[in-house]
Amino acid sequence: MVKKGPSAFMDNDDEDFQGQTVEVGDWVVFRVGDGWQLNLRDTACRILTDRTIRMRLKTPGDIF
């Protein structure tokens, strides 16, 4: 499940997201090495940049 900051998926000189975005609560696919691993309240998490998200899923069962 994803949460996002206020500047996520905003086009700039280096990146054009072509209208693609994710919403709070979406499930996303990313390469494990692209994220910064940490634990928040005993929950394994990864911090990612918007550029490293490869796709959005309705449920994690879509790929497993």
CA dist 19 and 61 (Å) reads: 25
Provide the whole-model pTM: 0.74
Q: CA 52, 7, 63, 33: dihedral to nearest 10 degrees?
A: 30
pLDDT digits (tens, 9 = 90+) for 19-58: 899 988 888 999 999 999 999 999 999 999 999 999 998 8
Query: 59: pLDDT confidence band, cut at 50, 70 and 90?
Result: confident
Cβ atoms within 10 Å of 53's Cβ, excluding its own: 22
**pLDDT value at 1 more than 70:** no
**Strand blocks (E) in the chain:** 27-29, 36-40, 43-47, 55-57
Could you count the other beta carbons within 10 Å of the beta carbon of residue 30?
A: 16
